[in-house]
């Protein structure tokens, strides 16, 4: 995710860079000293309501001016120069569209605003609408579209100029499962095409399915950024837990208590044993031997902490 | 440095013609889909239709002709008018004394000495507006000969001294114009004393109609209401509906985006005004009194009205849309500004621009354009008003209400140029302020 | 009134008693759901069939609801109090300040009369003290009140009255309650009319009474002038009613806040000026029948014994204004009746 400096001739300017960016509205701090550089791949932006995700996006797309710090898109300040917008596609959170326009007309006019001739714009519009799966309804008015179709139309207008940086603000909000799957497929495909994509969402499980690179905001501050598994591994203070389903949890617990990496056991239910450890890998390595020696039958083994939700929960609530 | 071949630094200015037309076309299409646009268009058409119906009715009506000099009466009932009897020297009071010629219809002596429109006397002075101001402006204008032959006049109608030169300009049977107190038309006795009432009425009311509707209908009402309906929400509506980002999140400067949005508004309003003016010009041109089948000289008057209206909707539109940029209460500010303009329009109409405060309004300058061109088109209007007042002819009050000379103390051409320049400067200044504010505006 | 309750579909209020207006009000305005103590049972068929999910047995609700006037009063209060305090309809500070300025502007004759009395300049007090012409002019004189103050105030008041409910979807707040559409319309109308009356008739009363007090006039003066004041007040109410009905009709056919306001101004001032143009050109006052202001002014002239400035009979103006109001009220009621309870 960070820019890599090898030598002067091959300096890569990140697609998106925020350098100590803060934004406040009167007494309310929207964003507090956030520094990120993103270049390539799909990055998930996570945070609760009021974390600053929308503020961050608005700063990126030039709708807001940072109170402090600098925002750079391809090395250019978007507030002062609109040039980078030729390489950006933005899918806003709200669902307002020009209901009186057909999707085809809408995407065509967006393409013309990039400087394409009418014929080129129409060609591009057809192409992107086919890409997002709206080619059979492109001449229908946007006002008659379902929510999922509207989202795809918004994505189509963002893609029409073949952008290098795509910002999607809550693209899955309000969509049915089928629409969500379609949109996620589109995002994954765009990521595999080498574009830089930043997507925010509250649906954590689906963000996990799209990407492993995440940025976590909380109360306007950058809480964590990087690979979600790596983030998890770094959380030393938070113990890893292993859940074992068995009919003899207490007997099994006694076999693990002697292990050097296990520091605690719990019994959340009658048939469940929860082991707490600081070294997940070592315990997993030794587990087959312990289970085999114990002779106790185990029907399920899970790692309840190795997901985004628990990371988020831990980071935000300090657990 | 960008990592591919797309030159970022130029992308804002490249293909600007495509982008500009795309925004303009989008704006026009947006107007097309709004019910308010069609409502205003239809109401404007209905308004024009209503006034044209009254105009046609007025122009096709015949008003009663009045024999101002009373020489068409037949007192003695012998079938000969007073004028015919006096011409042949018979007694108009004696039924047995009548001329030995065929009796002409009495109506021959009604409206027989009309105003003369040719005013190119050698001794006639003109002011900067081209209007005759001093001196003998008309000679040999006694159509019925009763000034040249005073024996054709009843003795008890002889007025004052001087006879054929009662205005003492040393020329018999002439018309002298003086500007001692206002414009005074002083004809010799029995010159232009029995004007054609119908002709006068139709001419003056036609001019009053063009000026009145040009000023009130086009410049005043449409000039203010079209921008109020169509321009105030040009940027503000997009902000409120959260669709603005689709338009400005593109490689085009915000100031230019604003300019092209205004461009779409101008195209729409100017086309609409032009179509209405064309309709008015065609209908009035064919119906109004004229020497040919169409009144070609009015084309420049209607062109001036269109020009003034277009400049005014341009100025108002820029102001109102700028209000919308600054605040979500922009429409409220526009309403109060519109009220100020109403006040100034009323003062301009009633005071013919003599109040200095009226210069601080857009409507004043718009009306100056119309007044400037009307002086060129109809240079004898003041003469007609004065003559009409003298003889209490129907129609003179209407023309007097709406006719005005340019009131900034310059020639009509200078006033025209100055007014247009002022309006353009106002538009440019307000646009500059608006686009600066728009550039710096955060879109929360 | 208590009755036997079956175990079938039934909504029970507190402790099994009948649902009262209290619990409905609690549900509408309280912080809870209003049914914390309630239980409900849903009848269901033992077997599932194709096309049938469950069977409902409906019972008529025999509870009591609070008085209709209480609900209507709450709508009225919401709109009127909102002009003066928080916690009610938010009118917006520019609108409030504008209305205050217009209110003060409408009282200019009182200020001038006061000035005349205070300074002893008889000419001033004679010019501005209540008289037949001055009372008429206060309510129906074109300049300055009927060109600036009253139309703008009406425009500001009617602007978003119904159109904003349509746009924001807040009409659902009304129609999901036991509020019928006629009541909704009438209460909105009355609230606009009351606020406009304060400006038009209220300032008239302030002018009349204020001058009485300032000049120290006696009962004889009151007896002489009260009929004129009364006639002017009635004329003012005609103006209030007409502007409210036209304005709300425009608000009901629009989605924006300002289109109705501008349209109302266009109707009032536009028709006036076009009629003026026609009368100046062709000496024909018939087009004044299209101008709501002029129709009412004509009526006011006949009511107050002022010399008419119109050529046509006042009955024509009366018929015209009745037709205008009828059309406006028809449009208003038709639009509100068909208004969908959703964000349109």
Same structural domain for residues B262 and B405? yes
Q: Say whether pLDDT at B8 is over 60.
A: no
Confidence class of residue C37 from pLDDT cuts 50, 70 and 90?
Answer: low
pLDDT tens, C266-325?
999 999 999 999 998 998 999 999 999 999 999 999 999 999 999 999 999 999 999 999
Identify which of B191, B186, B196 has the alpha carbon closest to the alpha carbon of residue B143. B191
Chains C and A touch (3+ CB pairs under 8 A): no
To the nearest whole Å, the CA of B243 is away from the closest chain C CA by 16
To the nearest whole Å, the CA of B226 is away from the closest chain A CA by 23
Residue at B3 is within a domain: no
Point out the residue among B22, B23, B243 whose CB comes nearest to the CB of A98: B243
Mean pLDDT, rounded, for B392-419: 89
Say what the pLDDT of residue B156 is: 61
Interface test with B, best of A17, A86, A104, A108 (most B CBs within 10 A): A86
Q: Say whether pLDDT at A296 is over 60.
A: yes
A99 touches chain B (CB under 8 A): no
Q: Please give the structure tokens belonging to residue B220.
A: 């005043």
To the nearest whole Å, the CA of A82 is away from the closest chain B CA by 5
Mean pLDDT of chain B: 86
B41 touches chain C (CB under 8 A): no
Give the separation between CA C204 and CA C225, rounded to whole angstroms. Answer: 13
Same structural domain for residues B84 and B121? no
CB contact under 8 A, C94 and B54: no
Sign of the four-CA dihedral B248, B252, B256, B259: negative
Say what the pLDDT of residue A237 is: 56
pLDDT tens, A119-138?
999 999 999 999 888 999 99
Residue B90's domain spans which residues?
Answer: 73-109
Q: Say whether pLDDT at C27 is over 60.
A: no
Same structural domain for residues B105 and B116? no
Same structural domain for residues B99 and B133? no
B36 touches chain A (CB under 8 A): no
Say what the pLDDT of residue B14 is: 66
Confidence class of residue B379 from pLDDT cuts 50, 70 and 90?
Answer: confident
Q: Say whether pLDDT at A1 is over 60.
A: no
Confidence class of residue A212 from pLDDT cuts 50, 70 and 90?
Answer: confident
Residue at B230 is within a domain: yes
Say what the pLDDT of residue A204 is: 72
| A302, β-bridge pairs | A243
Residue at B77 is within a domain: yes
Same structural domain for residues B88 and B161? no
SS (H, E, C) chain B: CCCCCCCHHHCCCCCHHHHHHHHHHHHHHHHHHCHHHHHHHHHHHHHHHHHHHHHHHHHHCCCCCCCCCCCCCCCCCCCCCHHHHHHCCCCCCCCCCCCCCCCCCHHHHCCCECCCCCCCCCCCEECCCCCEEEEEEEECCCCCCCCCCHHHCCHHHCCCCCHHHCCCCCCCCEEEEECCCCCEEEECCCCCCECCHHHHHHHHHHHHHHHHHHHHHHHHHHHHHHHHHHCCHHHHHHHHCCCHHHHHCCCCCHHHHHHHHHHHHHHHHHHHHHHHHHHHHHHHHHHCCCCCCCCHHHHHHHHHHHHHHHHHHHHHHHHHHHHHHHCCCHHHHHHHHHHHHHHHHHHHHHHCCCCHHHHHCHHHHHHHHHHHHHHHHCCCHHHHHHHHHHHCCCCHHHHHHHCCCCCCCCCHHHHHHHHHHHHHHHHHHHHHHHHHHHHHCCCC
Domain at A8-233, CATH homologous superfamily? P-loop containing nucleotide triphosphate hydrolases (3.40.50.300)
Q: Where are the beta strands (DSSP E) in chain C?
A: 10-11, 40-41
Residues 6+ apart with CB under 8 A from B226: B40, B269, B272, B273, B313, B316, B317
pLDDT tens, B317-334?
999 999 999 998 888 899
pLDDT tens, B341-364?
988 988 888 875 567 889 999 999
To the nearest whole Å, the CA of B205 is away from the closest chain C CA by 6
Neighbours of chain A (3+ CB pairs under 8 A): B
pLDDT tens, C229-248?
999 999 999 999 999 999 99
Say what the pLDDT of residue C62 is: 76
Same structural domain for residues B243 and B325? yes
Q: What share of chain B in percent tops pLDDT 70? A: 89
Mean pLDDT of chain A: 85
Q: Say whether pLDDT at B256 is over 50.
A: yes
Neighbours of chain B (3+ CB pairs under 8 A): A, C
Q: What share of chain C in percent tops pLDDT 90? A: 48
Residue B51: phi, psi to the nearest 5? -70, -35
pLDDT tens, C317-327?
999 999 999 99
Helical pair C292-304 and C219-252, crossing angle rounded to 10 deg = 160
Same structural domain for residues B334 and B301? yes
Identify which of B72, B154, B61, B59 has the alpha carbon closest to the alpha carbon of residue B111. B72
Confidence class of residue B209 from pLDDT cuts 50, 70 and 90?
Answer: very high
B5 touches chain A (CB under 8 A): no
CB contact under 8 A, C98 and B332: yes
Identify which of A271, A274, A265 has the alpha carbon closest to the alpha carbon of residue A243. A274
Same structural domain for residues B187 and B260? no
Mean pLDDT, rounded, for A156-173: 91
Which helix (DSSP H) or strand (DSSP E) does residue A169 occupy? strand A165-169
State which residue of chain C sits closest to B212, comparing Cα positions. Answer: C277
Sign of the four-CA dihedral C278, C283, C286, C289: positive
To the nearest whole Å, the CA of B209 is away from the closest chain C CA by 7
The total number of residues written for chain C in this structure: 344
Find out whether A102 and A121 touch, Cβ atoms under 8 Å. Answer: no
B22 touches chain A (CB under 8 A): yes
> What is the signed CA dihedral for C318, C320, C323, C329, rounded to 10 degrees?
-80
Q: What share of chain A in percent tops pLDDT 70? A: 89
To the nearest whole Å, the CA of B87 is away from the closest chain C CA by 39
Q: Say whether pLDDT at B246 is over 80.
A: yes
Give the separation between CA C267 and CA C247, rounded to whole angstroms. Answer: 10
State which residue of chain B sits closest to C102, comparing Cα positions. Answer: B336
Which helix (DSSP H) or strand (DSSP E) does residue A216 occupy? strand A213-218
Mean pLDDT of chain C: 83
Q: Say whether pLDDT at C177 is over 90.
A: no
Residue at B6 is within a domain: no
B225 touches chain C (CB under 8 A): yes
Residues 6+ apart with CB under 8 A from B78: B85, B94, B95, B96, B97, B98, B103
Domain ranges in chain A with CATH number 3.40.50.300: 8-233
Say what the pLDDT of residue B159 is: 57
Give the separation between CA B208 and CA B102, rounded to whole angstroms. Answer: 42
Q: Say whether pLDDT at C2 is over 50.
A: no
Q: Say whether pLDDT at B153 is over 80.
A: no
Point out the residue among B3, B14, B444 whose CB comes nearest to the CB of A115: B14
Say what the pLDDT of residue C246 is: 96
C209 touches chain B (CB under 8 A): no
Point out the residue among A65, A82, A97 whose CB comes nearest to the CB of B251: A82
Residue at B98 is within a domain: yes
Which of A184-188, B400-404, B406-410, C181-185 is predicted least confidently? B406-410
Q: Which residue has the tokens 């999910």?
A: C53
Contacting residues of B for C155, CB less than 8 Å apart:
335
What secondary structure letter does DSSP report for A142? G
Same structural domain for residues B155 and B43? no
Question: ω into residue A147 within 30 of 0, thus cis?
Answer: no
Same structural domain for residues B102 and B220? no
CB contact under 8 A, C281 and B338: no
Say what the pLDDT of residue C34 is: 47
CB contact under 8 A, C262 and B209: no
Contacting residues of B for C147, CB less than 8 Å apart:
339, 342-343, 346
CB contact under 8 A, A113 and B247: yes
Same structural domain for residues B434 and B411? yes
Say what the pLDDT of residue B171 is: 83
Q: Which CATH number fits domain A237-317: 3.30.530.20, 3.40.50.11310, 3.30.70.20, 3.30.70.100?
A: 3.30.70.100
Same structural domain for residues B119 and B43? no
Say what the pLDDT of residue A227 is: 82
Interface test with B, best of A65, A83, A97, A108 (most B CBs within 10 A): A83
Identify which of C204, C100, C99, C211 has the alpha carbon closest to the alpha carbon of residue C158. C99
CB contact under 8 A, C262 and B342: no
Say what the pLDDT of residue C6 is: 41
* Domain boundary pick from B195, B212, B228: B195
A162 vs C124, higher pLDDT: A162
- Looking at chain B from residue 344 to 383, which residues have their Cβ under 8 Å from any Cβ of chain C? 346
B63 touches chain C (CB under 8 A): no
């Amino acid at each position: 995710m960070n820019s890599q400096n090898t030598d002067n001739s091959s300096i890569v300017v990140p697609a998106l860079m925020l350098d100590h960016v803060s934004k406040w509205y009167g007494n309310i701090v929207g964003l507090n000293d956030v520094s990120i550089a993103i270049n390539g791949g799909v990055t998930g932006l996570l945070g609760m309501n009021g974390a600053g995700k929308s503020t961050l996006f608005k700063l990126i797309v030039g709708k807001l001016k940072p109170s402090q710090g600098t925002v750079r898109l391809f090395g250019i300040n978007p507030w002062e120069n609109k040039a980078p917008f030729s390489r950006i596609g933005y899918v806003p959170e709200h669902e307002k569209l020009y209901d009186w326009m057909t999707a085809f007309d809408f995407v065509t006019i967006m393409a013309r605003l990039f400087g394409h001739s009418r014929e080129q714009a129409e060609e591009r519009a057809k192409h992107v609408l086919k890409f997002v799966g709206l080619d059979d309804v492109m001449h229908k008015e946007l006002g008659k579209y379902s929510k999922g179709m509207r989202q795809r139309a918004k994505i189509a207008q963002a893609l029409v100029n073949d952008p290098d940086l795509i910002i999607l603000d809550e693209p899955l909000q309000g969509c049915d499962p089928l629409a969500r799957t379609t949109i996620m497929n589109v995002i994954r495909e765009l990521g595999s095409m080498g574009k830089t994509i930043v997507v925010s969402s509250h649906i954590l499980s689906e963000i996990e399915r799209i990407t492993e690179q995440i940025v976590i905001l909380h109360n306007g501050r950058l809480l964590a950024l990087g690979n979600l598994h790596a983030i998890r591994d770094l959380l030393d203070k938070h113990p890893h837990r292993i859940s074992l389903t068995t009919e003899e949890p207490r007997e099994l617990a006694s076999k693990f208590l002697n292990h050097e990496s296990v520091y605690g056991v719990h019994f959340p239910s009658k048939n469940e044993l929860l082991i707490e450890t600081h070294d997940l890998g070592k315990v997993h390595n030794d587990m087959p031997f312990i289970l085999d020696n114990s002779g106790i039958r185990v029907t399920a083994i899970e790692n309840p902490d190795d997901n985004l939700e628990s990371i988020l929960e831990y980071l935000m609530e300090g657990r | 440095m960008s990592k591919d071949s797309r030159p970022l630094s130029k992308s804002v200015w490249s293909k600007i013609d495509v982008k500009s037309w795309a925004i303009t076309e989008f704006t026009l299409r947006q107007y097309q889909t709004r019910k308010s646009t069609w409502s205003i268009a239809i109401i404007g058409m209905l308004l024009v239709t209503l006034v044209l119906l009254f105009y046609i009715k007025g122009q096709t009506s015949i008003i009663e002709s009045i024999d101002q000099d009373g020489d068409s009466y037949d007192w003695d009932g012998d079938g000969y008018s007073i004028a015919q009897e006096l011409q042949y020297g018979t007694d108009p009071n004696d039924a047995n004394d009548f001329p030995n010629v065929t009796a002409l219809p009495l109506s021959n002596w009604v409206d027989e000495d009309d105003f003369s429109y040719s005013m190119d006397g050698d001794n006639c002075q003109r002011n900067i507006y081209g209007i005759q101001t001093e001196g003998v402006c008309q000679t040999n204008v006694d159509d019925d000969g009763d000034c040249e032959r005073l024996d054709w006049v009843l003795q008890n109608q002889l007025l004052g001294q001087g006879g054929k030169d009662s205005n003492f300009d040393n020329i018999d049977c002439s018309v002298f114009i003086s500007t001692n107190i206002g414009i005074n038309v002083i004809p010799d006795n029995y010159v232009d004393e029995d004007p054609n009432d119908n002709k006068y009425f139709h001419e003056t009311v036609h001019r009053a109609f063009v000026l009145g509707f040009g000023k009130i209908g086009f410049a005043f009402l449409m000039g203010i209401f079209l921008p109020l309906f169509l321009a105030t929400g040009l940027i503000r509506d997009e902000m409120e509906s959260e669709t603005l980002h689709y338009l400005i999140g593109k490689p085009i400067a915000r100031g230019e985006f604003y300019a092209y949005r205004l461009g779409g508004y101008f195209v729409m309003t100017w086309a609409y005004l032009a179509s209405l003016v064309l309709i008015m010009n065609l209908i009035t041109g064919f119906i109004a009194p004229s020497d040919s089948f169409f009144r070609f000289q009015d084309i420049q008057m209607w062109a001036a009205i269109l020009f003034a209206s277009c400049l005014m909707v341009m100025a108002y539109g820029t102001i109102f849309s700028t209000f919308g940029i600054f605040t979500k209460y922009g429409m409220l500010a526009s309403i109060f500004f519109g009220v100020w303009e109403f006040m100034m329009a009323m003062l301009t109409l009633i005071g013919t621009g003599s109040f200095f405060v009226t210069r601080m309004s857009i409507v004043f300058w718009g009306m100056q354009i119309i007044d400037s061109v009307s002086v060129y088109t109809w240079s004898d209007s003041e003469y007609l008003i004065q003559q009409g007042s003298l003889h209490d002819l129907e129609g003179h009050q209407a023309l007097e209400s709406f006719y005005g000379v340019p009131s900034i103390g310059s020639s009509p051409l200078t006033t025209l140029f100055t007014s247009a320049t002022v309006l353009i400067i106002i538009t440019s200044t307000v646009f500059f302020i608006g686009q600066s504010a728009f550039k710096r505006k955060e879109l929360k | 009134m208590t009755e036997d309750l079956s175990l079938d579909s039934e909504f029970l209020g507190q402790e099994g008693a009948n649902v009262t207006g209290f619990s409905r009000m609690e549900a509408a305005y309280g912080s809870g759901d209003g049914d914390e103590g309630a239980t409900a049972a849903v009848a269901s068929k033992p077997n599932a069939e194709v096309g049938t999910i469950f069977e409902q047995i409906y019972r008529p609700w025999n509870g009591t609801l609070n008085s209709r006037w209480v609900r209507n009063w709450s709508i009225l209060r919401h709109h009127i109090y909102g002009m003066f305090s928080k916690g009610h309809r938010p009118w917006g500070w520019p609108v409030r300040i504008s209305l205050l300025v217009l209110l003060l502007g409408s009282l200019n004759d009182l200020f001038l009369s006061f000035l005349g009395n205070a300074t002893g300049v008889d000419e001033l007090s004679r010019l501005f003290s209540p008289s037949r012409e001055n009372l008429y002019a206060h309510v129906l004189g074109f300049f300055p009140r009927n060109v600036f103050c009253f139309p703008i105030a009406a425009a500001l008041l009617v602007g978003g009255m119904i159109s904003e409910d349509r746009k924001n979807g807040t009409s659902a707040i009304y129609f999901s309650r036991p509020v019928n559409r006629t009541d909704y319309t009438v209460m909105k109308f009355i609230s606009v009319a009351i606020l406009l009356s304060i400006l038009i008739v209220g300032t008239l009363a302030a002018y009349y009474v204020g001058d009485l007090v300032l000049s120290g006039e006696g009962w004889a003066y009151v007896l002489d002038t009260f009929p004129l004041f009364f006639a002017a007040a009635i004329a003012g109410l005609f103006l209030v009613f007409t502007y409210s009905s036209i304005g709300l009709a425009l608000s009901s056919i629009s989605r924006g806040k300002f289109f109705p306001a501008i349209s109302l101004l266009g109707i009032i001032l536009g028709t006036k000026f076009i009629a003026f143009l026609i009368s100046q050109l062709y000496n024909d006052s018939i087009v004044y029948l299209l101008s709501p202001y002029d129709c009412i002014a004509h009526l006011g002239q006949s009511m107050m014994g002022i010399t008419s400035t119109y050529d046509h009979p006042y009955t024509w103006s009366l018929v015209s204004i009745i037709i205008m109001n009828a059309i406006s009220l028809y449009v208003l009621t038709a639009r509100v009746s068909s208004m969908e309870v959703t964000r349109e």
